[in-house]
Amino acid sequence: STDLHAQSDRRPGSHKGFVEEMRFVAMRLHTRDQAKEGTLEESALPIQEWRPTQQDYLQFLVDSKHVYEFFENFMEQSQDNMFVNFKQTGLERVPALEQDLNWFRQRGFTVPEPAKPGTAYVDYLLSLVQDKPHALLCHWYNFYFAHTAGGRMIGRLMSKLLFDGHVFEFYKWERDVKEILDQVRVKIDETAKDWPREVKDDCLKETGLSFSYSGTILGHLAK
Ligand code: HEM
């Protein structure tokens, strides 16, 4: 039975480290048109056909900022050793998004309050703080890493469609983002290396919810 147990502990990517396990689960939750490794049926409305308004894009930024604010305040204030690695990683997006919202204000837009997709996600994340803090790492990973991959591609398309190609600060990092991501991957692996299998699994199980909540925020654009 010890052999069986060892086998059940093996997960795709686990030989490399926990971030590879999280990536594997996340990639499978993409549709086939979104990413090569995706396994889900093609979306009804592919990104190339999204036709949001400028106001929709602004709401998308506001809701995104609401979620980044939660993560960045949480990481900054957390006394939990588990999260010391995730303060000031270089991936922080709140200062950049503040500049982008000012860009809209300067052009006469009224910046709205966060809408339901953003507030519902933050409410859910808050509910994890006490009961399942490990699960927050999965949400953090997916939210920040998704933005550097599909999120950047979506940003380029939207800015061509709506803003004459203006590049928002949201898509600029102070250093080469690939380099930051590599450093963060190491930190995630270090953080999770001694987690028991069931804690890792609980964390991996959050990936689906992470996609659903991010999906509702992307819903501001997918119309
Ligand atoms: C990676 C597209 C939504 C999480 C990727 C990659 C692409 C992509 C092209 C890169 C694959 C590679 O490394 O070869 C998209 C598109 C999306 C979308 C087009 C929506 C329209 C999401 C969502 C999440 C997510 C909602 C989760 C909240 C991730 C993660 C990675 C990834 C964690 C791995 C990043 C890395 O390893 O650096 N996505 N994605 N994606 N995506 Fe998405």
Q: What is the pLDDT of residues 157-173, one digit of tens each?
A: 999 999 999 999 999 99
Distance, in Å, from the CA atom of 183 to the CA atom of 4, rounded to the nearest integer, reads 35
Q: How far apart are CA 62 and CA 217, in angstroms?
A: 10
Protein residues with CB under 6 Å of any ligand 1 atom: 23, 26, 30, 34-35, 47, 142-143, 145-146, 149-150, 153, 181, 210-211, 214-215
Q: Would you place residue 6 in the very low, low, confident or very high pLDDT band (cuts 50, 70, 90)?
A: low
* Number of domains into which the chain is organized: 1
Cβ neighbour number for residue 164 with a 10 Å cutoff: 7
ipTM: 0.93
- The pLDDT assigned to 11 comes to 86
Q: Choose one of 27, 139, 158, 209 to mutate for the ligand 1 pocket test, by most ligand atoms within 8 angstroms of C-beta.
A: 27
Identify whether 8 is part of a domain. Answer: no
pLDDT digit string (tens) for 112-139?
999 999 999 999 999 999 999 999 999 9
Q: What is the CATH number of the domain that holds 149?
A: 1.20.910.10
Instruction: With beta carbons less than 8 A apart as the criterion, state whether 105 and 98 touch.
Output: no
Whether residue 81 lies inside any domain: the answer is yes
Q: 207 and 146 in contact (C-beta within 8 Å)?
A: no
3-state DSSP helix/strand/coil percent for the chain, to nearest 5?
Answer: 65, 0, 35
- Position 172 scores a pLDDT of 98
Round to whole Å and give the CA distance between 142 and 156.
20
pLDDT one-digit tens code per residue, 24-58: 999 999 999 999 999 998 888 999 999 999 999 99
Task: Give residue 184's domain range.
Answer: 15-218
